[in-house]
Amino acid sequence: MRIFEQQDAARGETLRLLSLFGLAVAATVAGVHLALALCWALLDLLSPFPLAFPHLFFTVNVGVTLLLVLGGWWIETSNLQAAGGAERLARRIGAREARPASSHGEQRLRNIVEEVCIAAHMPCPLVMVMPRHEAINAFAAGWDAQDAVVAVTQGALELLTRDELQGMVAHECSHILEGDTRLNMQLAGMVSGLELVWGFGDAVRERGGLAVLFGSAIMAIGSGGWYAGRALQASVSRQREFLADARAVQWTRSRDGLGGVLRKAMTQREEADRMRADPPWPASVQHLLLLGRGAERGGWFDAHPPLAVRVQRLYGRPMPPLPLERAAAAEVTWV
């Protein structure tokens, strides 16, 4: 695996996608104005007398559209920040702080997080465990290194070897160090702003009469911008997953660690009945997970690449799933 080439490629693709995201926003703003101008021109053709464009027609169209996009972005990001820090988010989905004194597996997890952070030259995040989740998974959250959390599921503690758990933790620490959570929240805010354009068009259309024409035009452009924003946001997220995978190999000096996690997850995905016992993951944290929903499909709106693709990038060739076996070192003693 050419880890540094893959990291450079992921960062370069991220910049390209962010540029496209900016163009999508600009195209939405321009598209709303052009659509409204075409609607006005159509009325002019059908009217028995000429209709001049209203005063400040361009300024109002562009200004209102920008206000909706940027206002939606500000409201969404403010709400996400006001919702509390990463620890509060983790506790809301059932995580608790790791208890090294009462569990050998959780002591091992704490040690691994400290080792990875030393290798990554980063502050150690709060280590948490999700005891109700039997499926292999983990997530990292936090707007910065001082508000960072790494949480792993009970299934990961029980089913992963030490090397595999180290690969999982290194992947999550990469997200923290690279600021991926903050980037995703900013993009989510912009997508929310693009959705407001559609909502504004729907509100205009409900007034009836000629407003139906103008409202429908705004909705059409707003819908296109929203779908484009969602697709680009998901594409950025997939590139950050590739970057975190390469970082994990760099820090752990082993592709078999994270590779084992992904290959065991492939097995667990095939055993769907086992995973139904887990509490459902809230939609708000799907993009934060190591293994998100629908990761095997590879759709435009999936925040995670297919597991088979990630494994092939690690090894340079397709690899079969690994059997699920309880790790002997992960035996837990509860207090």
Sequence-separated (6 or more) residues with CB below 8 Å from residue 13: 239
Q: Return all residues near 81 (Cβ < 8 A) that are at least 6 apart.
A: 143
How many degrees, rounded to 5, is the angle at CA 294 between CA 291 and CA 295? Answer: 45
Q: For residue 96, list its beta bridge partners.
A: 129
Amino acid (1-letter code) at residue 111: N
Burial class, 209, CB count within 10 angstroms (exposed 0-12 / middle 13-18 / buried 19+): exposed
Choice among 164, 172, 241, 296 that is catalytic? 172
What is the rounded CA–CA span in Å between residue 219 and residue 30?
14
Please tell me what DSSP assigns to residue 151.
E
Is residue 241 flagged as an active site residue?
no
121: left (phi over 0), alpha (psi -120 to 50) or beta: left
Helices (H), 178-327: 180-205, 211-252, 255-270, 272-275, 307-315
The neighbouring-strand residues paired with 97 are 128
Region of 138 (left: φ > 0; alpha: ψ -120 to 50; beta: rest) is beta
Residues taking part in catalysis: 172
